[in-house]
Amino acid sequence: MKKILVIHGPNLNLLGEREPGVYGNDSYESINNEIIEHAIKYQFHCDVFQSNHEGEIIDQLHLARKKYDGVVLNAGAYTHYSYAIRDAIAAIRIPVIEVHLSNIHSRDEFRHTSVIAPVCAGQISGFGKFSYLMGVDALNYIWNSGESGEDND
Ligand code: DQA
């Protein structure tokens, strides 16, 4: 059984009450339940982690390299400037799928840049909570297509 870890970055614990016009009305808890249900369809074991702190996200990525087969990561605003998270992703060999609820390319200029995109297996952006589900789909795709997802340097 494949084990996957979903990592939510800063402010995503407030989903449902945070800027609902941008991020939707579904609560953080209900979105996580939907992700886990979706992962079960593929018979993936799925754990969820959230932190508002850069170093804790890096620690989880390091732990994930031994405990999980793949990661779905919404790094929140760290996406746009955290070279430390970028380096952590590059350091591990399991595939990391970058996801965003909103379409970062259609928003503020500073959101158009993802410093983590070059080291992720791919990016899914703009489909609300479905971006996370598609992140799970992407891991399934990688494993079924024989892509290693490791070619991220
Ligand atoms: C986000 C987009 C980021 O620009 C923002 O800082 C977030 C959420 C998204 O899921 O759309 O916190 O990653």
Residue 137: which domain range? Answer: 3-145
The model's pTM = 0.95
pLDDT of 3-46, one tens digit each?
Answer: 999 999 999 999 999 999 999 999 999 999 999 999 999 999 99
How far does the centroid of ligand 1 lie from the alpha carbon of residue 76, in Å? 4
Could you tell me where the DSSP H helices lie in the chain? 20-23, 28-41, 54-67, 83-91, 130-145
Classify residue 35: in a domain, yes or no. yes
What CATH number did the domain enclosing 14 receive? 3.40.50.9100
Domain count, the chain: 1
Pocket of ligand 1 (CB under 6 A): 11, 74, 76-77, 79, 100-102, 104, 111
Query: Cα-flanking dihedrals φ and ψ of residue 78, to 5°?
Result: -60, -25
End-to-end CA distance of the chain: 27
Classify residue 151: in a domain, yes or no. no
Classify residue 152: in a domain, yes or no. no
Q: Is 23 known to be catalytic?
A: yes
CA atoms within 13 A on the CB side of 56: 9
Tell the residue nearest (CA) to atom 8 of ligand 1: 76
